[in-house]
Chain A
Amino acid sequence: MSDSFVLAGRGLVGGVAEGEALVTREAISGWGGVEPRKGRVIESRHELVGQSFAGKVLVFKGAKGSSGWSGMFHMSRLMGSAPAAMVFTTMNTKIALGVVVTHVPAITDLDGDPFELIHTGDWVCVDADRGLLTVTPQGGNGAGSSSRRGQAQGSMVDSDAAAQGRALAEELER
C-alpha cells in the first residue's frame, strides 16, 4: 500500500468523509454543466465530460458559469448523487453557496497544490472540522511518494493516516 500524506487547509462545511478522488484543474459549470441525477459532468469541452462525481471526493478549481451552480449541486444532494466531499482552490460566491447547500465536507486554501499532489483514483479522507485532508495515493510505489508531500505540515506517514491527521490537528491547535 502507498504511503499516505496530509494536507492542511481551511475547513468550510464541517464533517468527515472519504472516497476516491476525482481531480480536475478546471472549474466546473453547475447549471448546464452538470446533470444532477447521476452527478455527471456534461459540459461539451470539459476534461471530465461524461464522468460522475457521485460519492467521490471532487478536487477541482472551483465554480464557473451560471448562477444556478448552487441549485444544481443542491439538487444532486436531494437526488443522492452529490460528491462525498469537495476540495477546491478558487473561492467565489458560486462555490461558497454551493458547498453550503450540498452539506458535504469542504476544504480550500490547502498548504500544498492539490492538483500536483492528488490524482484521480487516490483515496482521500476530508476532515473539514479540522481542515485536514489525508491522501492515500493509489498504486504509488511507497518509497517514491515522499515527493508528493505538502509543503508545510504535510509530513509523511507510513500507516494509519487518520491518526496522523489527528496528531497534526492537535499540533496545529497548540
Chain B
Amino acid sequence: MRLADDERAMLDGEQGEAVAAAMDLLVRYGEVLGAERLVDTDNVCGANLFGSRHSLVCGSPTPDGAFSEHSLDAPRELVIPPVKAQSHQLIGPMDTKHWRVQGLPQDEHDEIMASEQYNAEHGIHLLNTCTPYQVGNVPLKGEHCAWMESSAVVYVNSVLGARTNVEGRESTGAAMLTGKIPYWGLHLEENRRGSHLVEVTTPVVTNRDWGLLGYWIGEQVPEEAIPVVDGIERTPDLVRLKHFGAAAASSGGVEMYHVPGITAEARTREEAFAGRAPVEHLRYGPAQRSEAYEHLTATASDTSVDLVMIGCPHATLGQVRDVVRLLEGRRVHPDSELWVFTPRALRHIAEQNGYARALEDAGALLMSDTCPAIGQFLPKGTRVIATDSAKQVHYLPAIMNVHGWFGTLEECVDAAVTGTWRGERP
C-alpha cells in the first residue's frame, strides 16, 4: 500500500506510539484488502464502551489497556491521545438511566460509566445509538466516512450517498486517531453502481413490508451485491428505509442499495446501473414475501409473549409517538413487558414531550443507549419476544436463546397489551 508523507510519519511514530499503532493496524488491514492507499476521513462512528466483558479478557483492565487491545489491536497498553477525526460512539451495552432494569450490578454500571467518561475525555461524541443519522451526524453525499454498525452504513451509503464500508471496532478506533481509512470498496465511485435488479411486483408500503423485502433481498444476493429495488410505487420514509437496510444487512451483507427515484445516487434505474446490465434479475412477489416471513419467524410457535421490543434500529420520535398513541387507554399485560429503544438525545426530547411518562403510565418503558441484542439482556424468564424489526428478530433468538415473532407495530403493541401474539401472516 502506498502511504502519503503524513501517513508515513504517523507510522514512524512522529505523533506518538498510539497513533503509530493505529496506522500499523490500518496498513495491515489495507494490505489484506488490497487497497492501494488510504483516504482522509473526518467522520468516524465506532464502539468503544467497555464493561467487564472486555476488560477481563485483555489482562490490562485500564481504559487505555482496553482501548489499546480492543480498539487498536495494539501489542501492548499505550497512552491514548484525544481523537483526531470527528468521532462518535455508537450503541453500547448499557442504558445509563434504566440499567437496573437490565439486571446490571453496580460495579458493572460504574465500569461502563468510567468507560463513557474516558470516551468523552478523548473527544468521542456520546451519540450512543445505532442511528447517528437521526441525531446530528448526517454525512453529505460523497463524504468519506468510517462507520461501524451495518444498519447505519447501509443507510448513509444508500439514502444519503455518503461513502463508507462496513468498518469494525479496530478500524474505526484507528481512524479516530489518524483521520484515515483504507480507500477501498464503497469509497470508489466505480464500486457503487447497482449489480442485481430486484423487481417488486407486490405492494411494499408499511414498515413490515420493507422489513420483509430487505430480509429477502439479503438472503438472495451475494454479500458484495448492490441491489437495485425497482417497482416501488409509494415513496417510503426514514423509518421504512431504516428497517429495510437493517434487515438486508442482517440476513446478508448488503452495504448499499438503490431505489430509483428515491435514494441519493439513482435518479433512474439507468443511473443506478450506470449503463451496465444487471448480473441477475430477481422478482419479489407474494410468494417471496411469505418465504421471508417464514424464515424470520422460524423460531416462533408459543403465542405467549414475554417481551415486545420496539426500536431496532433505534426508534424515531414518530415511532415513539405511535406507540404512545396505540397504548392510549390500554395497559401492558402483567405477564408482558414493552420496551421502546431510542437514541439518548431523542429520549431527552421524548421526556420533554411527555412520551416517556405516557409509556411508563401504561406499563411500558422508554430506553436508550443500547438494545437487548447489543446489551444481551431480557426480562427475567423471557422465552418469547415480539418485535416490528426484522433485524432484531433475526439476532435475538440466536443471541439470547428465545423464540421470536415479527409483525406490525399495531400487532406488537397488541401482543404487549394482551400478552398473546395475534399477528397475521402477511
Contacts and interface: CB of A to CB of B under 8 A. Distances in A.
B182 to A, nearest CB: 8
Contacts of B394: 32
Contact of B58 (A43, A45, A63, A78): A78
Interface in A63-107: 63-71, 74-75, 78-79, 90-94, 96-101, 106
B223 A97 contact: no
Interface in B159-189: 165-171, 182, 184-185
B247 to A, nearest CB: 12
B4 interface: no
A67 B168 CA distance: 5
A59 interface: no
A65 B169 CA distance: 14
Interface string B33-56: 110000000000001000000100
Contact of B73 (A12, A44, A69, A100): A100
Interface residues of B, number: 44
Interface stretch (B111-119, B148-156, B270-278, B356-364): B148-156
Interface in A34-57: 42-45
Nearest to A92: B223
A167 to B, nearest CB: 27
Nearest to A97: B168
B29 A97 contact: yes
A33 interface: yes
B289 interface: no
Given A67-B167, A92-B253, A62 B223 contact: yes
Contact of A93 (B47, B54, B58, B166): B166
Given A68-B168, A74-B169, A97-B168, A92 B57 contact: no
A67 B58 CA distance: 21
Nearest to B45: A67
A16 interface: no
Q: Chain A: interface secondary structure?
A: mixed
A87 B35 CA distance: 20
A159 B239 CA distance: 61
Contact of B253 (A63, A68, A101): A63
A94 B168 contact: yes
B98 interface: no
A91 B32 CA distance: 9
A140 B254 CA distance: 39
B253 A100 contact: no
A70 B171 contact: yes
A64 B394 CA distance: 13
A97 B171 contact: yes
A96 to B, nearest CB: 4
A104 B33 CA distance: 16
Nearest to B27: A100
Given A65-B249, A74-B73, A32 B373 contact: yes
Interface in B230-259: 249-250, 252-253
Given A93-B33, A100-B28, A43 B398 contact: yes
Contacts of B418: none
A70 B25 CA distance: 13
Interface in B278-300: 295, 298-299
**What 10 pairs across the A-B complex have the smallest Cβ distances?**
A70-B168, A64-B253, A67-B148, A78-B57, A32-B395, A93-B165, A96-B32, A97-B168, A71-B169, A101-B73
14 contacts: A13-B32, A32-B373, A44-B397, A65-B252, A67-B153, A67-B167, A69-B168, A70-B170, A92-B223, A92-B253, A94-B166, A96-B32, A97-B167, A100-B170
Given A32-B398, A44-B299, A70-B170, 15 more contacts: A32-B395, A32-B399, A42-B399, A65-B252, A66-B250, A67-B150, A70-B171, A71-B168, A74-B169, A92-B253, A93-B167, A96-B32, A99-B32, A100-B170, A101-B170
Interface of B: 25, 28-29, 32-34, 47, 54, 57-58, 69-70, 73, 147-150, 153, 165-171, 182, 184-185, 222-224, 249-250, 252-253, 295, 298-299, 373, 394-395, 397-399
